[in-house]
Amino acid sequence: MDASPNPSAASWSRSRIAALNAQFEPHGPKAILNWAVHTFDDDLAQGTGFGPSGIVIMHMLADLRPGTTVFYLDTDLLFPETYELCEDLDARLDVDVTRVHGGLSLDEQAEQEGEALWNRNPNRCCFLRKVKPLKNFLADRRAWITGVRRDQSERRADADILSWEDQYGVFKINPLANWTQKEVWKYLFEHDLPYNPKHDQGYPSLGCVPCTEPVDEADGYSREGRWGDADKTECGLHTSLGEEESEAAGS
Ligand code: SF4
């Protein structure tokens, strides 16, 4: 696949991004990641919440470019099993696992915004604990790899493999966009990779403890169980998927 020696936002037209997407579509995620690491080098970082897709990508990156930055947004509200999985993956895989935190403790948030903001205004809470820290972290990067897949939800069904994210000023790469949940789990088992034990307890997707519930029977979408009955399916990180959440959260 073509590589750009010096990519910048200005030099990448929409038609060029569309052409690259057409080129990527028949290729597997490892070929796409190989293109990404050769194109963006040190300016590339993977973001993950240590879900199955993120672990597949971490494993591929450890092989393609050992030492690649893999960051997670620590909201202080992740499941204990998620923190344990983070430590396990950090020890097993040759990537640079990096904690990103907004600097606002839960006590400070309660003082400024009131108790249990996640119940009263989850968009504001996600903005403070996820979107803002992500924006700061990506400020000096050019490319962000995510585990977004089209089969995860209706809103993700049109996700591109490569896009320009204006809000963060980076290229976003979704190397597993056209993979299925089944393909992801097959890869995990074939490579004997660990996964969050909460998935075996009815949690298809794991975020923060107050906003994640088990589900009786997933309807085929792996993001079921997030934000319960609230009319919210994205935390606002993926602007092309959840613009209203990001805007509602303010700046
Ligand atoms: S997922 Fe819930 S607790 Fe976590 S940052 Fe968003 S609203 Fe807050």
Atom number in ligand 1 closest to CA 235 = 6
211 catalytic residue (yes or no): no
CA neighbor of 138 nearest in space, from 177, 90, 100, 86: 100
How far apart are the CA of 34 and the centre of ligand 1, in A? Answer: 33
Specify the amino acid at residue 24: F
pLDDT digits (tens, 9 = 90+) for 212-228: 988 876 455 565 666 56
Q: Is residue 6 part of a domain?
A: no
Percent of the chain with pLDDT over 90: 75
Which residue, by CA, sits nearest to atom 6 of ligand 1? 126
User: Could you give the CA distance from residue 61 to residue 46 in angstroms, rounded to a whole number?
Assistant: 9
Domain count, the chain: 1
Q: Which domain holds residue 98?
A: 11-248
Ligand 1 pocket test, candidate residues 73, 74, 75, most atoms within 8 A of CB: 75
Helix (H, G, I), strand (E, B) or coil at 116: coil
Percent of the chain with pLDDT over 70: 82
Q: Is residue 76 part of a domain?
A: yes
CA neighbor of 186 nearest in space, from 96, 80, 59: 59
Identify the CATH number of the domain in which residue 244 sits.
3.40.50.620
Q: Is residue 3 part of a domain?
A: no
Q: Measured between alpha carbons, how far is residue 157 from residues 65, 180, 193, 199, 240 in Å?
A: 29, 11, 27, 22, 12
Q: Is residue 159 part of a domain?
A: yes
Q: Is residue 62 part of a domain?
A: yes
pLDDT digits (tens, 9 = 90+) for 69-110: 999 999 999 999 999 999 999 999 999 999 999 999 999 999
How far apart are the CA of 129 and the centre of ligand 1, in A? Answer: 7
How far apart are the CA of 42 and the centre of ligand 1, in A? Answer: 30
* Ligand 1 pocket list (CB less than 6 A): 75, 77, 118, 122, 125-126, 129-130, 207-208, 210-211, 235
- Residue 10: what pLDDT? 52
Q: Is residue 110 part of a domain?
A: yes
Q: Which helix (H) or strand (E) holds 145?
A: strand 143-145
pTM of the shown model: 0.88
How far apart are the CA of 234 and the centre of ligand 1, in A? Answer: 10
